[in-house]
Structure 1
Amino acid sequence: MASLGVNIDHIANVRQARRTVEPDPVTYALLAELGGADGITVHLREDRRHIQERDVELLRQTVRSRLNLEMAATAEMEAIALRLRPDMVTLVPEKREEVTTEGGLDVAAQTGPLTAMVTRLQQAGIGVSLFVDPAAAQLEACRAIGARWVELHTGAYAEADWQRQSDELARLTEGSFIARSLGLRVNAGHGLTYQNVEPVAAIEGMEELNIGHTIVARALAVGLEQAVREMKVLVQNPRRDPLFGSLQP
Protein backbone atom coordinates (compact mmCIF):
# COMPACT_ATOMS: atom_id res chain seq x y z
CA MET A 1 0.00 0.00 0.00
CA ALA A 2 1.54 3.27 -1.13
CA SER A 3 1.71 6.30 1.13
CA LEU A 4 0.96 9.86 0.03
CA GLY A 5 3.39 12.75 0.02
CA VAL A 6 1.69 16.09 -0.63
CA ASN A 7 3.67 18.72 -2.50
CA ILE A 8 2.68 22.23 -1.39
CA ASP A 9 4.78 24.25 -3.84
CA HIS A 10 1.66 25.59 -5.57
CA ILE A 11 0.42 27.14 -2.34
CA ALA A 12 3.63 29.16 -2.33
CA ASN A 13 3.10 29.99 -6.02
CA VAL A 14 -0.09 31.86 -5.11
CA ARG A 15 1.69 33.79 -2.36
CA GLN A 16 4.64 34.72 -4.56
CA ALA A 17 2.34 36.01 -7.30
CA ARG A 18 1.82 39.06 -5.06
CA ARG A 19 5.01 38.77 -2.94
CA THR A 20 2.84 38.90 0.15
CA VAL A 21 2.41 36.72 3.26
CA GLU A 22 -0.57 34.62 2.25
CA PRO A 23 -1.40 31.87 1.68
CA ASP A 24 1.27 30.51 3.98
CA PRO A 25 2.42 27.03 2.86
CA VAL A 26 3.38 26.20 6.44
CA THR A 27 -0.26 26.51 7.54
CA TYR A 28 -1.46 24.47 4.58
CA ALA A 29 1.03 21.72 5.38
CA LEU A 30 -0.84 21.24 8.67
CA LEU A 31 -4.15 20.97 6.78
CA ALA A 32 -2.60 18.39 4.46
CA GLU A 33 -1.47 16.34 7.45
CA LEU A 34 -4.95 16.60 8.98
CA GLY A 35 -6.27 15.23 5.70
CA GLY A 36 -4.01 12.20 6.00
CA ALA A 37 -0.80 13.18 4.22
CA ASP A 38 2.00 10.80 5.12
CA GLY A 39 4.58 13.40 4.23
CA ILE A 40 5.05 16.97 3.02
CA THR A 41 7.18 17.70 -0.05
CA VAL A 42 8.62 21.08 -1.09
CA HIS A 43 11.03 22.05 -3.86
CA LEU A 44 13.42 24.82 -2.85
CA ARG A 45 14.48 26.01 -6.29
CA GLU A 46 17.64 27.97 -6.93
CA ASP A 47 15.61 30.96 -8.20
CA ARG A 48 13.24 30.78 -5.18
CA ARG A 49 10.21 31.14 -7.47
CA HIS A 50 7.85 29.63 -4.89
CA ILE A 51 9.16 27.94 -1.73
CA GLN A 52 11.53 30.12 0.34
CA GLU A 53 14.17 29.12 2.86
CA ARG A 54 11.95 30.54 5.59
CA ASP A 55 9.26 28.04 4.58
CA VAL A 56 11.60 25.07 4.83
CA GLU A 57 12.91 26.25 8.20
CA LEU A 58 9.40 26.51 9.65
CA LEU A 59 8.24 23.28 8.05
CA ARG A 60 11.19 21.48 9.63
CA GLN A 61 9.92 22.70 13.01
CA THR A 62 6.23 21.99 12.44
CA VAL A 63 5.77 19.00 10.12
CA ARG A 64 4.80 15.98 12.19
CA SER A 65 4.79 13.41 9.39
CA ARG A 66 7.84 13.50 7.13
CA LEU A 67 9.54 16.40 5.33
CA ASN A 68 10.92 15.71 1.86
CA LEU A 69 13.07 18.48 0.36
CA GLU A 70 13.40 18.41 -3.41
CA MET A 71 16.49 20.24 -4.59
CA ALA A 72 19.10 20.54 -7.29
CA ALA A 73 22.42 18.79 -6.72
CA THR A 74 24.38 21.98 -5.95
CA ALA A 75 26.71 23.01 -3.15
CA GLU A 76 24.29 25.73 -2.03
CA MET A 77 21.38 23.31 -1.70
CA GLU A 78 23.50 20.68 0.00
CA ALA A 79 24.55 23.22 2.64
CA ILE A 80 20.90 24.15 3.27
CA ALA A 81 19.92 20.48 3.60
CA LEU A 82 22.76 19.76 6.02
CA ARG A 83 21.72 22.75 8.11
CA LEU A 84 17.98 22.07 8.21
CA ARG A 85 18.09 18.24 8.23
CA PRO A 86 14.87 17.27 6.41
CA ASP A 87 13.83 13.64 6.76
CA MET A 88 14.58 13.07 3.09
CA VAL A 89 16.21 14.90 0.20
CA THR A 90 15.16 14.17 -3.37
CA LEU A 91 17.74 15.27 -5.91
CA VAL A 92 16.09 16.59 -9.07
CA PRO A 93 17.25 18.24 -12.31
CA GLU A 94 16.56 21.93 -12.51
CA LYS A 95 16.56 24.50 -15.31
CA ARG A 96 15.70 28.17 -14.78
CA GLU A 97 13.49 28.42 -17.87
CA GLU A 98 11.26 25.41 -17.15
CA VAL A 99 7.79 25.76 -15.67
CA THR A 100 8.20 22.54 -13.69
CA THR A 101 10.69 19.67 -13.67
CA GLU A 102 10.75 18.28 -17.20
CA GLY A 103 12.52 14.95 -16.81
CA GLY A 104 14.58 12.71 -14.63
CA LEU A 105 18.08 13.39 -13.31
CA ASP A 106 20.87 12.00 -15.51
CA VAL A 107 22.63 10.12 -12.72
CA ALA A 108 24.76 8.04 -15.09
CA ALA A 109 26.42 11.19 -16.47
CA GLN A 110 27.51 12.56 -13.09
CA THR A 111 28.25 9.63 -10.83
CA GLY A 112 31.35 11.20 -9.26
CA PRO A 113 29.83 14.39 -7.85
CA LEU A 114 26.57 12.66 -6.95
CA THR A 115 28.35 9.86 -5.09
CA ALA A 116 30.11 12.39 -2.87
CA MET A 117 26.91 14.37 -2.20
CA VAL A 118 24.79 11.30 -1.48
CA THR A 119 27.43 10.01 0.91
CA ARG A 120 27.62 13.28 2.84
CA LEU A 121 23.84 13.60 3.14
CA GLN A 122 23.33 10.01 4.23
CA GLN A 123 26.14 10.24 6.75
CA ALA A 124 24.25 13.22 8.23
CA GLY A 125 21.22 10.98 8.73
CA ILE A 126 19.23 12.33 5.79
CA GLY A 127 17.56 9.84 3.47
CA VAL A 128 18.39 10.46 -0.19
CA SER A 129 16.20 9.73 -3.20
CA LEU A 130 17.04 10.37 -6.85
CA PHE A 131 14.33 11.52 -9.26
CA VAL A 132 14.95 9.50 -12.42
CA ASP A 133 13.28 8.14 -15.50
CA PRO A 134 12.41 4.43 -15.26
CA ALA A 135 15.42 3.36 -17.35
CA ALA A 136 17.70 0.49 -16.36
CA ALA A 137 20.92 2.48 -16.92
CA GLN A 138 19.77 5.27 -14.62
CA LEU A 139 18.56 2.88 -11.93
CA GLU A 140 21.83 0.96 -12.03
CA ALA A 141 23.71 4.26 -11.67
CA CYS A 142 21.56 5.15 -8.64
CA ARG A 143 22.56 1.90 -7.00
CA ALA A 144 26.22 2.40 -7.93
CA ILE A 145 26.46 5.79 -6.22
CA GLY A 146 25.03 4.43 -2.98
CA ALA A 147 21.51 5.84 -2.97
CA ARG A 148 18.82 3.86 -1.18
CA TRP A 149 15.74 5.40 -2.79
CA VAL A 150 14.59 6.39 -6.26
CA GLU A 151 11.55 8.39 -7.32
CA LEU A 152 10.36 7.30 -10.73
CA HIS A 153 9.42 10.18 -13.02
CA THR A 154 5.80 9.58 -14.06
CA GLY A 155 5.56 12.53 -16.45
CA ALA A 156 5.59 10.47 -19.66
CA TYR A 157 2.79 8.30 -18.30
CA ALA A 158 0.75 11.30 -17.13
CA GLU A 159 1.07 13.07 -20.48
CA ALA A 160 0.46 10.03 -22.69
CA ASP A 161 -2.77 9.67 -24.64
CA TRP A 162 -4.97 6.61 -24.11
CA GLN A 163 -3.17 4.67 -26.85
CA ARG A 164 0.26 5.04 -25.24
CA GLN A 165 -0.58 5.16 -21.56
CA SER A 166 -0.46 1.39 -21.06
CA ASP A 167 3.04 1.32 -22.59
CA GLU A 168 4.22 4.05 -20.23
CA LEU A 169 2.66 2.23 -17.29
CA ALA A 170 4.55 -0.90 -18.33
CA ARG A 171 7.80 1.12 -18.31
CA LEU A 172 7.08 2.28 -14.77
CA THR A 173 6.21 -1.25 -13.68
CA GLU A 174 9.43 -2.60 -15.17
CA GLY A 175 11.39 0.27 -13.63
CA SER A 176 10.00 -0.55 -10.22
CA PHE A 177 10.95 -4.20 -10.67
CA ILE A 178 14.50 -3.33 -11.76
CA ALA A 179 14.96 -0.85 -8.91
CA ARG A 180 13.77 -3.32 -6.31
CA SER A 181 15.97 -6.07 -7.77
CA LEU A 182 18.91 -3.69 -7.24
CA GLY A 183 17.93 -3.18 -3.60
CA LEU A 184 16.45 0.28 -4.10
CA ARG A 185 13.22 1.50 -2.53
CA VAL A 186 10.72 3.04 -4.94
CA ASN A 187 8.64 6.21 -4.91
CA ALA A 188 7.06 7.96 -7.89
CA GLY A 189 5.60 11.28 -8.92
CA HIS A 190 5.03 14.05 -11.46
CA GLY A 191 1.80 14.85 -13.22
CA LEU A 192 -0.32 12.34 -11.32
CA THR A 193 -3.99 13.26 -10.98
CA TYR A 194 -7.19 11.89 -9.48
CA GLN A 195 -7.91 10.36 -12.88
CA ASN A 196 -4.61 8.54 -13.53
CA VAL A 197 -3.10 7.77 -10.13
CA GLU A 198 -4.64 4.38 -9.37
CA PRO A 199 -2.67 2.22 -11.85
CA VAL A 200 0.60 3.70 -10.56
CA ALA A 201 -0.41 3.24 -6.92
CA ALA A 202 -1.12 -0.43 -7.71
CA ILE A 203 2.39 -1.15 -9.05
CA GLU A 204 4.12 -3.82 -6.97
CA GLY A 205 6.61 -2.33 -4.53
CA MET A 206 5.45 1.29 -4.86
CA GLU A 207 6.07 2.92 -1.47
CA GLU A 208 5.08 6.57 -1.87
CA LEU A 209 3.52 8.86 -4.44
CA ASN A 210 4.37 12.56 -4.33
CA ILE A 211 1.48 14.63 -5.68
CA GLY A 212 0.88 18.36 -5.63
CA HIS A 213 -0.79 20.30 -8.43
CA THR A 214 -3.94 18.22 -8.79
CA ILE A 215 -4.54 18.25 -5.02
CA VAL A 216 -4.12 22.02 -4.77
CA ALA A 217 -6.42 22.46 -7.78
CA ARG A 218 -9.06 20.25 -6.15
CA ALA A 219 -8.62 22.16 -2.89
CA LEU A 220 -9.95 25.31 -4.55
CA ALA A 221 -13.34 23.57 -4.63
CA VAL A 222 -13.40 21.46 -1.47
CA GLY A 223 -10.54 22.66 0.74
CA LEU A 224 -7.09 21.13 1.15
CA GLU A 225 -7.92 18.72 3.96
CA GLN A 226 -10.75 17.12 1.97
CA ALA A 227 -8.71 17.10 -1.26
CA VAL A 228 -5.94 15.16 0.51
CA ARG A 229 -8.46 12.70 1.98
CA GLU A 230 -9.87 11.99 -1.48
CA MET A 231 -6.44 11.41 -3.01
CA LYS A 232 -5.32 9.15 -0.18
CA VAL A 233 -8.31 6.85 -0.78
CA LEU A 234 -7.19 6.41 -4.39
CA VAL A 235 -3.53 5.88 -3.47
CA GLN A 236 -4.17 3.33 -0.75
CA ASN A 237 -7.08 1.46 -2.33
CA PRO A 238 -6.43 1.55 -6.08
CA ARG A 239 -8.78 -0.33 -8.36
CA ARG A 240 -6.89 -2.81 -10.51
CA ASP A 241 -8.02 -2.10 -14.04
CA PRO A 242 -8.41 -5.36 -16.01
CA LEU A 243 -6.64 -3.66 -18.92
CA PHE A 244 -3.42 -3.53 -16.88
CA GLY A 245 -3.81 -6.83 -15.04
CA SER A 246 -1.81 -7.26 -11.86
CA LEU A 247 0.82 -4.71 -13.01
CA GLN A 248 3.62 -7.24 -12.61
CA PRO A 249 6.58 -7.15 -15.04
Structure 2
Amino acid sequence: MTNLSVNINKVATLRNSRGENMPDVVRFAIECEKLGVNGITVHPRPDERHIRRSDVIQLRPAVKTEFNIEGYPSAEFIKLVLTVKPEQVTLVPDAPDALTSSAGWDVGANMEMLTETVEKFRDAGIRTSIFVDPDPEAIKLAAKTGADRVELYTKPYADAYASDREAAVAPFVEASRAAHGCGLGVNAGHDLSLANLAFFHERVPYLNEVSIGHALISDALYLGLPATIAAYRECLRPAAPAE
Protein backbone atom coordinates (compact mmCIF):
# COMPACT_ATOMS: atom_id res chain seq x y z
CA MET A 1 0.00 0.00 0.00
CA THR A 2 1.26 3.48 -0.86
CA ASN A 3 1.98 5.48 2.29
CA LEU A 4 -0.03 8.59 3.16
CA SER A 5 1.91 11.46 4.74
CA VAL A 6 -0.17 14.39 5.98
CA ASN A 7 1.29 17.86 5.55
CA ILE A 8 0.18 19.85 8.60
CA ASN A 9 1.30 23.32 7.47
CA LYS A 10 -2.30 24.53 7.11
CA VAL A 11 -3.00 23.61 10.72
CA ALA A 12 -0.13 25.87 11.75
CA THR A 13 -1.47 28.64 9.49
CA LEU A 14 -4.79 28.54 11.35
CA ARG A 15 -3.04 28.56 14.71
CA ASN A 16 -0.82 31.49 13.76
CA SER A 17 -3.82 33.61 12.77
CA ARG A 18 -4.65 34.03 16.47
CA GLY A 19 -1.16 33.99 17.96
CA GLU A 20 -2.05 31.25 20.44
CA ASN A 21 -1.70 27.47 20.41
CA MET A 22 -5.07 26.48 18.97
CA PRO A 23 -5.14 24.24 17.06
CA ASP A 24 -2.12 22.46 18.53
CA VAL A 25 -0.03 21.10 15.65
CA VAL A 26 1.60 18.42 17.80
CA ARG A 27 -1.76 17.12 19.00
CA PHE A 28 -3.06 17.20 15.42
CA ALA A 29 -0.09 15.12 14.22
CA ILE A 30 -0.66 12.58 16.98
CA GLU A 31 -4.37 12.34 16.09
CA CYS A 32 -3.50 11.76 12.43
CA GLU A 33 -1.19 8.91 13.41
CA LYS A 34 -3.87 7.36 15.62
CA LEU A 35 -6.17 7.39 12.59
CA GLY A 36 -3.71 5.39 10.52
CA VAL A 37 -1.59 7.80 8.50
CA ASN A 38 1.93 6.65 7.69
CA GLY A 39 3.77 9.91 8.16
CA ILE A 40 3.72 13.61 8.99
CA THR A 41 5.16 16.26 6.66
CA VAL A 42 6.15 19.82 7.52
CA HIS A 43 7.62 22.60 5.42
CA PRO A 44 9.23 25.23 7.66
CA ARG A 45 9.78 28.43 5.67
CA PRO A 46 12.19 31.22 6.62
CA ASP A 47 9.38 33.62 7.60
CA GLU A 48 7.69 30.93 9.75
CA ARG A 49 4.28 31.91 8.37
CA HIS A 50 2.99 28.43 9.13
CA ILE A 51 5.24 25.74 10.63
CA ARG A 52 7.86 27.22 12.92
CA ARG A 53 11.29 25.83 13.64
CA SER A 54 10.18 25.33 17.25
CA ASP A 55 7.30 23.17 15.95
CA VAL A 56 9.76 20.95 14.12
CA ILE A 57 11.74 20.42 17.33
CA GLN A 58 8.59 19.64 19.32
CA LEU A 59 7.20 17.29 16.68
CA ARG A 60 10.30 15.10 16.50
CA PRO A 61 9.66 13.07 19.70
CA ALA A 62 5.90 13.07 19.12
CA VAL A 63 5.89 11.63 15.58
CA LYS A 64 6.09 7.84 15.76
CA THR A 65 5.57 7.08 12.08
CA GLU A 66 7.70 8.81 9.40
CA PHE A 67 8.71 12.43 9.87
CA ASN A 68 9.33 14.23 6.56
CA ILE A 69 10.76 17.76 6.50
CA GLU A 70 10.50 19.71 3.23
CA GLY A 71 12.41 22.83 2.38
CA TYR A 72 14.98 24.74 0.41
CA PRO A 73 18.48 23.62 1.49
CA SER A 74 19.69 26.87 3.02
CA ALA A 75 22.34 26.68 5.74
CA GLU A 76 19.66 27.23 8.38
CA PHE A 77 17.44 24.48 6.95
CA ILE A 78 20.30 22.00 6.75
CA LYS A 79 21.24 22.73 10.37
CA LEU A 80 17.64 22.17 11.49
CA VAL A 81 17.34 18.86 9.64
CA LEU A 82 20.66 17.56 10.97
CA THR A 83 19.56 18.50 14.49
CA VAL A 84 16.12 16.89 14.26
CA LYS A 85 17.14 13.88 12.10
CA PRO A 86 13.79 13.02 10.51
CA GLU A 87 13.32 9.80 8.59
CA GLN A 88 13.13 11.78 5.34
CA VAL A 89 14.05 15.20 4.01
CA THR A 90 12.56 16.51 0.77
CA LEU A 91 14.56 19.18 -1.04
CA VAL A 92 12.41 21.76 -2.82
CA PRO A 93 13.53 24.72 -4.95
CA ASP A 94 11.18 27.31 -3.44
CA ALA A 95 12.35 30.89 -3.08
CA PRO A 96 12.01 32.22 0.50
CA ASP A 97 8.93 34.28 -0.42
CA ALA A 98 7.19 31.59 -2.49
CA LEU A 99 3.52 31.10 -1.60
CA THR A 100 3.75 27.39 -2.40
CA SER A 101 5.81 25.04 -4.54
CA SER A 102 5.39 25.77 -8.24
CA ALA A 103 7.98 23.61 -10.03
CA GLY A 104 10.56 20.93 -9.54
CA TRP A 105 14.32 21.45 -9.45
CA ASP A 106 16.42 22.31 -12.47
CA VAL A 107 18.65 19.47 -11.33
CA GLY A 108 21.38 20.00 -13.91
CA ALA A 109 21.84 23.67 -12.98
CA ASN A 110 21.99 22.80 -9.25
CA MET A 111 23.85 19.50 -9.48
CA GLU A 112 26.83 20.39 -7.31
CA MET A 113 24.78 21.92 -4.52
CA LEU A 114 22.23 19.11 -4.48
CA THR A 115 24.92 16.43 -4.48
CA GLU A 116 26.74 18.06 -1.53
CA THR A 117 23.47 18.43 0.38
CA VAL A 118 22.39 14.86 -0.24
CA GLU A 119 25.77 13.64 0.97
CA LYS A 120 25.39 15.53 4.26
CA PHE A 121 22.00 13.99 4.92
CA ARG A 122 23.09 10.51 3.81
CA ASP A 123 26.01 10.65 6.23
CA ALA A 124 23.49 11.46 8.98
CA GLY A 125 21.33 8.46 8.03
CA ILE A 126 18.47 10.55 6.62
CA ARG A 127 16.65 9.45 3.46
CA THR A 128 16.65 12.21 0.87
CA SER A 129 14.04 12.98 -1.79
CA ILE A 130 14.40 15.59 -4.54
CA PHE A 131 11.32 17.46 -5.77
CA VAL A 132 11.15 17.19 -9.57
CA ASP A 133 8.82 17.67 -12.51
CA PRO A 134 7.76 14.46 -14.32
CA ASP A 135 10.81 14.66 -16.58
CA PRO A 136 12.85 11.46 -17.07
CA GLU A 137 16.03 13.44 -17.76
CA ALA A 138 15.71 15.40 -14.51
CA ILE A 139 15.05 12.14 -12.70
CA LYS A 140 18.20 10.54 -14.13
CA LEU A 141 20.21 13.52 -12.93
CA ALA A 142 18.56 13.32 -9.50
CA ALA A 143 19.76 9.73 -9.24
CA LYS A 144 23.32 10.92 -9.85
CA THR A 145 23.17 13.18 -6.79
CA GLY A 146 22.92 10.09 -4.59
CA ALA A 147 19.32 10.80 -3.54
CA ASP A 148 17.13 7.93 -2.41
CA ARG A 149 13.88 9.14 -3.94
CA VAL A 150 12.23 11.78 -6.06
CA GLU A 151 8.96 13.50 -5.30
CA LEU A 152 6.93 14.14 -8.44
CA TYR A 153 5.29 17.59 -8.61
CA THR A 154 1.68 16.70 -9.35
CA LYS A 155 -0.05 20.07 -9.87
CA PRO A 156 0.01 19.64 -13.69
CA TYR A 157 -1.81 16.33 -13.23
CA ALA A 158 -4.39 17.88 -10.91
CA ASP A 159 -4.97 20.81 -13.27
CA ALA A 160 -5.54 18.59 -16.32
CA TYR A 161 -7.38 15.73 -14.60
CA ALA A 162 -10.94 16.93 -15.27
CA SER A 163 -10.40 17.48 -18.99
CA ASP A 164 -8.40 14.34 -19.86
CA ARG A 165 -7.22 12.22 -16.99
CA GLU A 166 -5.41 9.66 -19.16
CA ALA A 167 -3.32 12.38 -20.81
CA ALA A 168 -2.80 14.05 -17.44
CA VAL A 169 -1.37 10.96 -15.78
CA ALA A 170 0.75 9.69 -18.70
CA PRO A 171 3.87 11.78 -17.94
CA PHE A 172 3.80 10.60 -14.34
CA VAL A 173 3.61 6.96 -15.35
CA GLU A 174 6.68 7.46 -17.53
CA ALA A 175 8.48 9.43 -14.81
CA SER A 176 7.82 6.81 -12.16
CA ARG A 177 9.11 4.06 -14.41
CA ALA A 178 12.21 6.14 -15.13
CA ALA A 179 12.81 6.65 -11.41
CA HIS A 180 12.39 2.95 -10.68
CA GLY A 181 14.81 2.16 -13.48
CA CYS A 182 17.39 4.44 -11.83
CA GLY A 183 16.95 2.76 -8.47
CA LEU A 184 14.97 5.64 -6.95
CA GLY A 185 11.88 5.45 -4.81
CA VAL A 186 8.88 7.52 -5.89
CA ASN A 187 6.92 10.03 -3.84
CA ALA A 188 4.31 12.45 -5.17
CA GLY A 189 2.57 15.57 -4.00
CA HIS A 190 0.83 18.88 -4.70
CA ASP A 191 -2.90 19.30 -5.29
CA LEU A 192 -3.67 15.61 -4.95
CA SER A 193 -7.18 15.25 -3.55
CA LEU A 194 -10.10 12.89 -3.08
CA ALA A 195 -11.19 13.82 -6.61
CA ASN A 196 -8.00 12.65 -8.36
CA LEU A 197 -5.92 10.53 -5.98
CA ALA A 198 -7.43 7.09 -6.60
CA PHE A 199 -6.88 7.29 -10.36
CA PHE A 200 -3.32 8.55 -9.90
CA HIS A 201 -2.58 5.67 -7.53
CA GLU A 202 -4.17 3.16 -9.88
CA ARG A 203 -2.12 4.28 -12.88
CA VAL A 204 1.28 5.28 -11.48
CA PRO A 205 3.51 2.28 -10.68
CA TYR A 206 6.14 2.06 -7.93
CA LEU A 207 4.49 4.80 -5.86
CA ASN A 208 5.95 4.74 -2.34
CA GLU A 209 4.30 7.75 -0.77
CA VAL A 210 1.98 10.69 -1.33
CA SER A 211 2.17 13.88 0.73
CA ILE A 212 -1.13 15.76 1.01
CA GLY A 213 -1.94 18.84 3.04
CA HIS A 214 -4.22 21.57 1.71
CA ALA A 215 -6.94 19.33 0.24
CA LEU A 216 -6.94 16.91 3.17
CA ILE A 217 -7.18 19.64 5.81
CA SER A 218 -9.94 21.34 3.80
CA ASP A 219 -11.88 18.09 3.49
CA ALA A 220 -11.58 17.56 7.24
CA LEU A 221 -13.51 20.79 7.81
CA TYR A 222 -16.49 19.25 6.00
CA LEU A 223 -16.16 15.55 6.76
CA GLY A 224 -14.28 15.45 10.05
CA LEU A 225 -10.74 14.19 10.42
CA PRO A 226 -11.46 10.45 10.95
CA ALA A 227 -13.71 10.20 7.88
CA THR A 228 -11.28 12.24 5.79
CA ILE A 229 -8.24 10.15 6.58
CA ALA A 230 -10.25 6.97 6.03
CA ALA A 231 -11.30 8.26 2.61
CA TYR A 232 -7.73 9.13 1.58
CA ARG A 233 -6.45 5.77 2.78
CA GLU A 234 -9.16 4.07 0.75
CA CYS A 235 -7.86 5.85 -2.38
CA LEU A 236 -4.47 4.22 -1.77
CA ARG A 237 -5.57 0.66 -1.21
CA PRO A 238 -4.14 -1.93 -3.62
CA ALA A 239 -6.50 -3.04 -6.35
CA ALA A 240 -8.32 -6.27 -5.61
CA PRO A 241 -6.94 -9.26 -7.54
CA ALA A 242 -8.92 -10.32 -10.57
CA GLU A 243 -11.22 -13.31 -10.14
> Match of 2:162, SS?
coil
Output aligned runs, 1:152-231, within 5 Å.
152-160=152-160, 162-202=162-202, 203-231=204-232
Q: Deviations over 1:23-58 (max 9, x none)?
A: 111110011111110000010112211001111111
Q: How many residues end up aligned between the 2 structures?
A: 240
Deviations 1:68-90, CA, capped at 9 Å, x for gaps: 00011211100110011111000
| Other structure's SS at 1:77 match | helix
Most deviating of 116-125 and 159-168:
159-168
Cα distance in 2 for partners of 1:220, 1:231 equals 14
Which runs of no fewer than 5 residues in structure 1 stay unpaired? 240-249
Once the two structures are TM-superposed, the CA of residue 138 in structure 1 deviates from its matched residue by 0.9
**Residue ranges of structure 2 left out of the alignment (5+ in a row):** none
CA distance in 2, matches of 1:214, 1:115: 32
Match of 2:22? Answer: 22
Task: Measure how far apart 1:165 and its partner are.
Answer: 3.3
Q: Tell me the CA shift for residue 237 of structure 1.
A: 4.2
Query: After alignment, is 100-109 or 60-69 more displaced?
Result: 100-109
Per the normalisation by structure 2, the TM-score is 0.94
Shift of 1:152: 0.6
Structure 1 position 228, deviation (Å)? 1.1
Moved more, 106-115 or 175-184: 106-115
Q: How does 1:4-83 map to 2 (within 5 A)?
A: 4-83=4-83
Instruction: Pick closer, same or farther for the CA change 1:19–1:106 going to 2, 3 Å.
Output: farther
Give a deviation string over 1:90-126, Cα, whole Å, max 9, x none. 0012124432111112222110011111001011011
Residues 201 and 238, structure 1, Cα contact 8 Å, conserved in 2: no
Q: Is the 8 A contact 1:35 1:227 kept in 2?
A: no
Q: What CA distance in whole angstroms lies between the structure 2 residues aligned with 1:210 and 1:74?
A: 22
Structure 1 partner of 2:106: 106
SS at match of 1:110: helix
Let me know the Cα RMSD of the aligned residues. Answer: 1.6
- Change in Cα spacing, 1:117 to 1:97, as seen in structure 2 (3 Å) is closer
Aligned residue type for 1:167: A
> Could you state the TM-score of these two structures normalised by the residue count of structure 1?
0.92
Shift of 1:214: 1.3
Match of 1:88? 88
Q: Give the whole-Å Cα distance in 1 for the aligned partners of 2:193 and 2:161.
A: 14
Assess, with a 3 A threshold, how the Cα gap between structure 1 residues 213 and 182 changes in structure 2: closer, same or farther: same
Counterparts of 1:140 and 1:113, CA distance in 2: 16
Residue 128 of structure 1 aligns to which amino acid in structure 2?
T
In the other structure, the counterpart of 1:243 is none
